[in-house]
Amino acid sequence: MKDKIHPKYYPNCKVYYNGEVVFTTGATVPEMHVDVWSGSHPFFTGKQTFVDAAGRVEKFQRKFGGNYFAGGKKK
């Protein structure tokens, strides 16, 4: 390998979910904070959860709220 071209590798990167360490893995950052992982994803758990990261639902409602969809199809 060439020197000084590769990022630093952390073999014990801690992955956090809701403030708790859920597992460790190798990565280029010392720790990761995730919103969803396989232990909380509805596909794997069979439970439905609502994840709204950074107000995306509100942003969508502001953008397309009101009578945006009332116009119908345009010819």
pLDDT greater at residue 62 or residue 11: 11
**pLDDT tens by residue, 12-63:** 999 998 888 888 999 999 999 988 887 776 666 677 666 666 677 777 777 7
Within-domain flag for 25: yes
Within-domain flag for 37: yes
Within-domain flag for 72: no
Domain that holds residue 57: 10-65
Within-domain flag for 3: no
Residue 75 has pLDDT above 60, yes or no: no
pLDDT greater at residue 31 or residue 64: 31
CB atoms within 10 A of CB 31: 13
Residue 1 has pLDDT above 80, yes or no: no
Within-domain flag for 33: yes
- The domain total for the chain is 1
pLDDT of residue 11: 94
The Cα–Cα gap between 18 and 73 comes to 44
Within-domain flag for 2: no
Within-domain flag for 30: yes
